[in-house]
Amino acid sequence: MLIFMPTKSSKPRKQRKALYNAPLHMRQKLVGAHLSKELRAQTGKRSLPVRKGDEIKIMRGSNAGKTGKVAEVDLKKTKIFVEGIVRKTAKGNEVKIGLEPSNLLITKADFSDKMRQRILEKSKTKGIKVEMKK
């Protein structure tokens, strides 16, 4: 998982430090989630970074099985916030719950993003047939 990190050490402490101090362009790779079987067949990819507007399914935790649209992606904390997944605070306010990207499954991806289209173009050049449905 940490192949792209700048550290050469295998020590856990240095691996954690590299994650905490990673620049934002590297953190984008840390918020990747697996694709559903349909999207996997359609794109030829196993996973993609989660973007705002994607529809996801929660696979693990107390909210497992729930689906929703991604409202926010926090690269600093590497958390995903989904519409409708909230918890009540002690004061009674509702706050969105931050979810780990590894516990999510992308069911519908937003392909309007140019960077995401570039990722799919790369897979086309490798000889994989990609059919994008918008």
* pLDDT for residue 17: 92
Q: What is the pLDDT of residues 1-52, one digit of tens each?
A: 445 556 788 999 999 999 899 998 899 889 999 999 999 998 888 999 999 9
pTM of the model: 0.82
Exposed e or buried b per residue across 99-133, where buried means at least 16 C-beta atoms within 10 angstroms of its C-beta:
bebebbbbbbbebeeeebeeebeeeeeeeeeeeee
Averaged pLDDT for residues 73-100: 96
CATH class of 12-125: mainly beta
Q: Residue 14 and residue 64: Cα distance in Å, rounded?
A: 32
Residue matched to tokens 């649209």: 69
Q: Residue 28 and residue 48: Cα distance in Å, rounded?
A: 10
Q: Residue 84: pLDDT above 90?
A: yes
* pLDDT for residue 35: 96
